Amino acid sequence: MKLFDGHCDTLLGLMGNPKSGPLPVGSLYENELQVDLKRGLEMEAYAQTFALFGFREMGWNDIFDTLYSRFQAEAEACADHLRFCRSRTDALNAAKEGKAAAFLSIEGAEVIDCRPEKLEAAAEKGVRGFGVCWNRANKITGTSAQEPDRGLSEKGKTLVKLALELGLTVDVSHLSDPGFWDVEKLAKGPFIASHSNARAVHDHPRNLTDDMFRAIRDHGGTAGLNLYSLFLGEGEVTVETVLRHIDRFLDLGGEKTLAVGGDLDGCDRLPQGIRGVQDVHLIRDALAERGYEETLLDDIFYNNLLRVLPVQD
Ligand SMILES: [Zn+2]
């Protein structure tokens, strides 16, 4: 199968995410985390968006620079297996070469200190996506987890507008509900929820309401299935649980909207039988077994995220 996964926290994992256990864990090419290129490249094609995310408490001087430098070093070390991508053409070329297509996305404006000039510099360096926040409320918005009634400040709106002007894909996962609708009003074209499930299936504020999903659909964006059990359901979570979220989004006309954003290496509990990127095919297999069309599955697992990208840089 071909996989385009729109969100993982593997870079942070390599640098010592408390959730990933003690270091050393290995390299981007091969490690003990939930994502590495070696496993990803077992598939026919593999594209992965890596989140640039970290905490102030990690003691890093500049969060963006620290993560970006680590990515650069990893990419250099495994240049035979990875192509740093900015566009659809890049991703397709990577697939032709048998390399993983690697994209970068900021997760939380605090990573760039909520500063426009740093967002511009990040775009210049090849970053493709801009997630407005993580769980913690930041200077420009409340989140689904903190200050959920607070939407984007004026400064926040300016930053999102700038991201759109720069051609970055704006990502609403983690945003407060009012923040979501602020972005929706600002975006003329596609925006995405890179790693968010269906609230109608599992009532968690990190998940999307039906109206939010429809809005993303109408903008031509994507919503990526998140494999963190916490966002999938209560009790024992299985591949069947994941399928319930898929069915909900498909019922809402999401054939071209639904994608994958596994949140791998950002979660400590996965559905039964899924250890990491090597097992994502189990979800596709289960859908195929139920008779879902191959073309629909190709769209969900690969094409839909590809479509949101600019054809060329
Ligand atoms: Zn996240």
Is residue 175 left, alpha or beta, with left meaning phi > 0 and alpha meaning psi from -120 to 50? Answer: beta
In a domain, 296, yes or no: yes
In a domain, 313, yes or no: no
pLDDT one-digit tens code per residue, 123-170: 999 999 999 999 999 999 999 999 999 999 999 999 999 999 999 999
| Cα-to-centroid distance, 232 and ligand 1 (Å) | 14
| Cα-to-centroid distance, 263 and ligand 1 (Å) | 6
| Cα-to-centroid distance, 229 and ligand 1 (Å) | 13
| Cα-to-centroid distance, 139 and ligand 1 (Å) | 18
Quote the CA–CA distance of 50 and 197 in Å, as a whole number: 19
In a domain, 240, yes or no: yes
| Cα-to-centroid distance, 25 and ligand 1 (Å) | 21
| Cα-to-centroid distance, 296 and ligand 1 (Å) | 26
Which tokens go with 274?
């899924």
Give phi and psi for 256, each to the nearest 5: -105, 5
| Cα-to-centroid distance, 312 and ligand 1 (Å) | 27
Quote the CA–CA distance of 82 and 98 in Å, as a whole number: 9
- What rounded mean pLDDT belongs to the chain? 96
Query: Which pLDDT score is estimated for 21?
Result: 61
pLDDT one-digit tens code per residue, 174-196: 999 999 999 999 999 999 999 99
Which residues, at least 6 apart from 168, have a Cβ–Cβ distance to it below 8 Å? 119, 123, 127, 128, 129, 130
The total domain count for the chain is: 1
Query: Which pLDDT score is estimated for 55?
Result: 79
At 34, which CATH number? 3.20.20.140
Query: Which pLDDT score is estimated for 20?
Result: 61
Query: Which pLDDT score is estimated for 251?
Result: 98
pTM of structure: 0.97
Query: Which pLDDT score is estimated for 25?
Result: 79
| Cα-to-centroid distance, 243 and ligand 1 (Å) | 21
Query: Which pLDDT score is estimated for 30?
Result: 96
Residue 37 to residues 46, 262, 273: CA-CA distances in angstroms? 8, 15, 20
In a domain, 201, yes or no: yes
Name the residue range of residue 279's domain.
2-308
| Cα-to-centroid distance, 52 and ligand 1 (Å) | 10
In a domain, 164, yes or no: yes
Q: What percent of the chain has pLDDT over 90?
A: 93
Query: Which pLDDT score is estimated for 234?
Result: 95
Query: Which pLDDT score is estimated for 59?
Result: 82
Q: Which residues of the chain have pLDDT under 70?
A: 18-24
Quote the CA–CA distance of 161 and 187 in Å, as a whole number: 8
Q: Are 262 and 8 in contact (CB under 8 A)?
A: yes
For 287-291, the CB contacts below 8 A with 24+ separation are 287/243, 287/246, 290/243
| Cα-to-centroid distance, 1 and ligand 1 (Å) | 25
Query: Which pLDDT score is estimated for 18?
Result: 62
Query: Which pLDDT score is estimated for 16?
Result: 81
